[in-house]
Amino acid sequence: MAANVDRVWIVHGLDIELNARRIERYLAVAWESGAQPEIVLAKADVAIDLESARGVATELAFGVPVWVVSTVDPTGCDELAASLGPGATVALLGPSGVGKSSLINRLAGNQLLEVGAVREWDGKGRHTTTRRELVLLDGGALLLDTPGMRELQLWDVETGLSAAFPEID
């Protein structure tokens, strides 16, 4: 998915119910990679249940930053942007339609990446992003946009599982 990144933003759109199992799989993969995982709850402006989603995400990922953002409200995006320093490299991971490309466009202050609407009948993305693309922000941070993944399988994530589930380990 990505290599040589410092941080992984696990992006989940709040226009659908939070999928805790999916976030856990992404956390395990991110920990296994050696990058610092962070959860980005996008589309806060259309959240079904913002506080519940934030609570579940915080509980799932004890000690992992949880960001709440909306590309139409600058508050959360400004806080997220302030966390980026020159040379920081961040991969955005998540299913199609959660707002990864829209978030990068917002942080870049420009419409650099193509975005598309989710399907009305099931709320799923349409795979507008078909390849990885690295975007350099004005402050010197690098954001890696990745295609959406419908499913993430875990194969060899021994270290990542220990970090994602310390209570079981």
pTM of model > 0.75:
yes
Q: Does residue 123 form part of some domain?
A: yes
Give domain status of residue 167, yes or no: no
pLDDT digits (tens, 9 = 90+) for 143-167: 998 765 545 454 455 554 555 556 6
In a domain, residue 129? The reply is yes
Task: Provide mean pLDDT across the span 79-90.
Answer: 95
Q: Tell me what pLDDT residue 125 has.
A: 45
> What are the Cα distances from residue 160, in Å, to 13, 36, 56, 86, 133?
23, 11, 20, 27, 25
3-state secondary structure string across the chain? CCCCCCEEEEEEECCCCCCHHHHHHHHHHHHHHCCEEEEEEECHHHCCCHHHHHHHHHHHCCCCCEEECECCEHHHHHHHHHCCCCCCEEEEECCCCCCHHHHHHHHHCCCCCCCCCCCCCCCCCCCCCCCCEEEECCCCCEEEECCCCCCCCCCCCHHHHHHHCCCCC
The tens digit of pLDDT for each residue in 90-101 reads 999 988 788 888
Tell whether 110 is covered by a domain.
Answer: yes
pLDDT digits over 17-50, tens only?
999 999 998 898 889 889 999 999 999 999 989 9
Domain assignment present for 71: yes
In a domain, 53, yes or no: yes
Is there a domain that residue 168 lies in?
Answer: no
Q: Assess if residue 18 is contained within a domain.
A: yes
Pairing type for strands 133-136 and 66-68 reads: unpaired
Q: Which domain holds residue 149?
A: 7-162
Tally of domains within the chain: 1
Separation CA 40–CA 52 (nearest Å): 14
* Rounded-to-integer distance, Cα 72 and Cα 28, Å: 30
For position 90, which CATH number holds?
Answer: 3.40.50.300
